Chain A
């Protein structure tokens, strides 16, 4: 008898916790966001959107496997907006057929044509540059990506894993500029220059420069802002201030830029609100937040860049089209293995 009582209470607890959740995915005044972006970066934007529009945002923050989950959920997926970083990840969403094209004059007006799909199946929301962090006292003001393989840097470079999408994207851009063979030679050169095994994140590069482990390193532009602003705490402020940022360029090109972007999900139950959210994210107000809170470069022309990022110097975006870069992604990742970059 006791056991039946126990069972009953378990079942009723289960029913209660089920009942506490809501399952209807289409709901008035709500929008469901699947994203691989960090909650701390995105939440202020979402809160501002809710305040401005009255639409509540429900979110899941993923690491990997977002595309797989949406694909598996199929036509009943609650996802409305899929948001991620790196052009390659956006293209993966298209390849898995989990997005839908949408038409929005507001989005088209705000985003330059080369930073969105022609049919409206993905949109860039902000951009970031892959730059070089250098020890403050180093007499170095300009650099080409090509220079990173220069033996003069032997034992002086720090970088995160070669298999991280930021680094495969940089290598893919290198391939697009110079071809596979030269890219391989370049990677071998960079590998030979490393001060330590590739690992950690971009911020560890700044910390290791402060710690004297290396003199230069590769990292994303917005981390400089996060560190120097003190958003990541006092320690990181010291890391950020220990380095100066150099915006490298490709020989005959510009600085490699990657994007953070979003798509409307194929079976979005709240499609209208999904578009509303995307439109809000390229509004002046949100673009300002992208710049001031996340330290990214706004995608909308004329939107202000955060002063910290502005101080890094004028960004000369590499003219190589994203579509030409992304098709080398797989090759870039294989090259990393081939040269044993992470070993």
Chain B
């Protein structure tokens, strides 16, 4: 088990190792230039972006989770899953959609002008979304569910008893939230926020389009325009170190705290019924994120797609693209889930530091931008692919092609290296909720190790596995840079098709694909919402998919 877990971690961290190898070729004198002209600005912008998105997703995610837990109002049950919908919208789509909507010649300003009776484009003081502020807002409105989901689950599970106790001891509502609920939710918030921030850090599509120069964009310029791949790899590794450091600091800050859940399921603390202004406020607060992060962009896509379909009919290969997307994402999910389970379970069973280290090292891939990760993966992968082809030649004769990269298996592997952090984190969190006495009881009652896994752990972990699978699936579907780089010949997914159309600027054609991405992503997101509503599952289900967190959690 231990050996297998180590080998698996090695396989998963191979792309990062590949990057280190590339970086070691020497930077070709890139650093003086970078230090003088690029990094000060890029680091500042990256930090502003991270701080902005971090604050907003935490405020929105936690606030909304508390609203859904402590209060009762009409429509609350709908909001509970509707608030997850923005998860289905990739950052690059929301950036395109809102730029179009708010542009001086877009529908919003057209309508405003008609309403105010003014003419002439550019006369209205509508802020340009192509700015740091716009980028922070847009990213936050699609990334807050990463915080909302685990925090909500935590409130549901733990809050009940403790919150009642706090109330009985005389704390006001505000006090309960700030002095009890919030500190309790800190691990969940931290893990959710770290996921959202990692997505922000690695985002290139949206930030580049909106004119925000992050470190990831600098990696691109170094690599693509100055043909300096080693230099780019060095920045990427530095970026990864930054991400790991941030998480370490947060962990260190709460090193003395222990979070133990005594209850498997807790009654919901009696919620307050909202009326009047408070009700209106709650409805606004809950609907705004859904409207901005999902409804408006989706409606816009529907309108654009409708125009395209009315004009030219459905794109003829749409069916194939949907099939490719779903197949590829399903295999990617399966791979990431198996790998994540294996890594996390090995820690549980062996309790060996080596297993824990494997878990942490194996999930490093999430902290590196997709394209760069794929570039790191290429040399090793193709070496393997070549060796495989050699073996086939030797066995069967003839000249075999490259099987892994020719079949999409390379892509499945790439998805696993990137998203195993999510599944491993989910399983780890799920396992941590199961008392070790369960293991002892199972074994004492005569179960074999395999039996304990099959008949005790797996059934209990099902919700955690399900939630992790859905999250990974949605992420695989939205994934673009690795898919572009590693796919086989003649293989289009919805995301790659959308990219092709967007690059050419035929947005209407792309709208159909974009809409499909959102629609196909909707099903797992709604499932996820249902999963997290069942109280018995809630605690385990969407639990903090801990990426690097688990990767760097130093054993005490």
Interface residues on B, range: 35 or more
User: Residue-by-residue, is A313-334 near B (CB-CB < 8 Å gives 1, otherwise 0)?
Assistant: 0000000000000000110011
Residue-wise interface mask of B (386-405) relative to A, using a CB-CB cutoff of 8 A (1 in contact, 0 not): 10010000000011111101
Q: State which size class the interface on A falls in.
A: 35 or more
Interface flags for A55-66 (1: CB within 8 Å of B; 0: not) read: 000111111110
Stretch at the interface among B6-14, B136-144, B481-489: B481-489
B41-68 to A contact mask, C-beta < 8 Å, 1/0:
1000000000000000000000000000
Q: For B509, list chain A residues within 8 Å (CB).
A: 40
Q: Is the CB of B489 within 8 A of A58?
A: yes
Instruction: Tell me, yes or no, whether B431 is within 8 Å of chain A by CB.
Output: no
B508 located at the interface, meaning its Cβ lies under 8 Å from any Cβ of chain A in the complex? yes
**Which stretch (A73-81, A105-113, A243-251) binds chain B?**
A73-81
Q: Are A203 and B505 in contact (CB under 8 A)?
A: yes
Q: Is the CB of B211 within 8 A of A342?
A: yes
Chain B residues near A334: list those with CB within 8 A. Answer: 33, 37, 226
Are A69 and B378 in contact (CB-based, < 8 A)?
A: yes
**Residues of chain A lying within 8 A (CB to CB) of residue B223:** 64
**Chain B contacts for A277, CB-based, 8 A:** none
A196-246 CB contacts (< 8 Å) to partner B? 196-201, 203, 207-208, 210-213, 223, 226, 231-236, 238-239
How far does the Cβ of B315 sit from chain A's closest Cβ, in whole Å? 11
Bound Cα distance from A199 to B208, whole angstroms:
7
A39 adjacent to chain B (CB < 8 Å): yes
Closest residue to B378 on the A side, CB-wise? A72
- A337 near B400: Cβ-Cβ < 8 Å: no
Q: Which of the segments A16-24, A284-292, A300-308 contacts the partner chain?
A: A16-24
**A3 contacts B400, C-beta separation under 8 Å:** no
Please determine whether A3 and B454 come into contact, CB atoms closer than 8 angstroms: yes
**A161: contacting residue among B208, B386, B402, CB under 8 A:** B208
Task: Tell me, yes or no, whether A68 is within 8 Å of chain B by CB.
Answer: yes
A32 touches B489 (CB 8 A): yes
* CB neighbours of B225 from chain A (8 A): 88, 163, 165, 168, 329-330, 333
Assembled-state Cα–Cα distance A198/B103 (Å): 16
Q: Hey, which chain A residues are within 8 Å of B371, CB to CB?
A: 63-65
Q: Which of B152-160, B349-357, B421-429, B494-502 forms part of the interface with chain A?
A: B494-502
| A39-B500, A334-B33 known; A18+B41 contact, CB < 8 A | no
Contact between B105 and A333, CB atoms less than 8 A apart: no
Partner among B311, B379, B500 whose Cβ is within 8 Å of the Cβ of A38: B500
Which A residue sits closest to B18, measured CB to CB? A72
B500 touches A196 (CB 8 A): no
Cβ–Cβ < 8 Å partners of B213 in chain A: 342-343
Tell me if B128 and A196 are in contact (CB < 8 A).
yes
- The reply to whether A210 and B121 form a contact with Cβ atoms under 8 Å apart is yes
Q: Does B284 contact A (CB under 8 A)?
A: no
Contact B401 A163 (CB under 8 A): no
Q: Does B327 contact A (CB under 8 A)?
A: yes
Instruction: Judge whether A179 is part of the interface by a CB distance below 8 angstroms.
Output: no
Q: What is the chain B residue whose CB lies nearest that of A41?
A: B504
Tell me, yes or no, whether A151 is within 8 Å of chain B by CB.
Answer: no
A239 to B223, CA, bound (A): 33
Using Cβ atoms and an 8 Å threshold, which residues of chain A touch B292?
none
B131 interface contact, C-beta 8 A? yes
What is the distance, in angstroms, from A137's C-beta to the closest C-beta of chain B?
12
- Minimum CB–CB distance from A220 to chain B (whole Å) comes to 11
- Among B103, B374, B400, contact of A207 (Cβ-Cβ < 8 Å): B103
Residues of B within 8 A of A178 (CB): none
A78 touches B402 (CB 8 A): yes
Which residues A1-52 have CB closer than 8 A to chain B? 3, 10, 14, 17-18, 21-26, 32, 38-41
In the complex, residue of chain B having the shortest beta-carbon distance to the beta carbon of A334 = B33
Cβ of B331 < 8 Å from any Cβ of A?
yes
* Structural contact, B221 and A60, CB atoms closer than 8 A: no
Which B residues are CB-close (under 8 A) to A60?
487-491
Residues of B within 8 A of A343 (CB): 41, 213
Which residue of chain B is the closest to A89 with respect to CB atoms?
B224
- Bound together, the chains give a CA A120 to CA B18 distance in angstroms of 33
The answer to whether A163 and B402 touch across the interface, beta carbons within 8 angstroms, is: no
Given contacts A38-B504, A65-B371, A233-B507, contact A333 B211 (CB under 8 A): no
Residues of A within 8 A of B454 (CB): 3
**In the complex, are the beta carbons of A74 and B407 less than 8 A apart?**
no
> Does B382 reach chain A (CB closer than 8 Å)?
yes
Distance from A215 Cβ to chain B, minimum over Cβ atoms (Å): 11
User: What are the residues of chain A within 8 A of B406 when measuring CB–CB?
Assistant: 21-23, 25, 78
**Which B residues, 212 to 259, have Cβ-Cβ distances below 8 Å to chain A?**
213, 217, 220-221, 223-227, 229
Q: Chain A contacts of B486 at CB under 8 A?
A: 69
Nearest-Cβ distance from residue A287 to partner chain B, whole angstroms: 20
Task: Kindly provide the distance from the CB of B402 to the nearest chain A CB, expressed in whole angstroms.
Answer: 5
Contact A232–B505 (Cβ < 8 Å): yes
Contact pattern, B 357-390, Cβ under 8 Å of A = 1, otherwise 0: 0000000000000010011001101100110010
Check if B117 is an interface residue, CB within 8 A of chain A: no
A17 touches B506 (CB 8 A): no
- Asked if B408 is at the interface (CB within 8 A of a chain A CB), the reply is yes
- Say whether B38 faces chain A, with CB atoms less than 8 Å apart: yes
A24 contacts across to B, CB distance below 8 A: 398-401
Whether the pair B399, A199 counts as a contact (CB closer than 8 A) is no
- Contact status A23-B402, CB under 8 Å: yes
Shortest distance in angstroms between B267's beta carbon and chain A's nearest beta carbon?
Answer: 35
Nearest A residue to B409 via CB reads A18
CA distance A239 to B399 in the complex (A): 52
Kindly list chain A residues whose C-beta atoms are within 8 Å of the C-beta of B300: none
| Given A17-B408, A23-B402, A212-B123, A40 and B500 contact (CB-CB distance below 8 Å) | yes
- A64 / chain B contacts, CB cutoff of 8 Å: 220, 223-224, 371, 485
Query: A60-B488, A168-B225, A199-B210 known; A340 and B37 CB under 8 Å?
Result: yes
Contacts of A25 in B (CB 8 A): 399, 401-402, 406
Query: Whole-angstrom distance between the alpha carbons of A18 and B406 in the complex?
Result: 9
Chain B, 309-344, contact with A by CB distance < 8 Å: what is the 0/1 string?
001000000000000000100010010000000000
Binary per-residue interface labels of chain B (26-48) against chain A in the complex, 1 for a CB within 8 Å, 0 otherwise? 00000001001110010000000
B433 within 8 A of A: no
In the assembly, what is the distance between CA of A132 and CA of B403, in Å?
47
Residues of A close to B131: CB separation below 8 A: 197
| Cα–Cα, bound, A213→B492 (Å) | 36
A residues contacting B by CB (< 8 A) are 3, 10, 14, 17-18, 21-26, 32, 38-41, 58-65, 68-69, 72-78, 88, 92, 95, 161, 163, 165, 168, 196-201, 203, 207-208, 210-213, 223, 226, 231-236, 238-239, 329-330, 333-334, 336-338, 340, 342-343
18 contacts between A and B (CB under 8 A): A18-B409, A25-B399, A38-B500, A60-B489, A61-B500, A63-B371, A161-B211, A163-B217, A163-B225, A196-B211, A197-B130, A207-B105, A213-B128, A232-B506, A235-B105, A236-B505, A336-B221, A338-B33
A-B CB proximity, top 6 nearest:
A212-B122, A199-B211, A211-B104, A333-B225, A197-B211, A72-B378
A24-B398, A232-B507 provided; 10 other pairs, C-beta below 8 A?
A: A21-B406, A22-B406, A23-B401, A38-B503, A65-B371, A163-B220, A200-B130, A210-B121, A211-B122, A343-B41
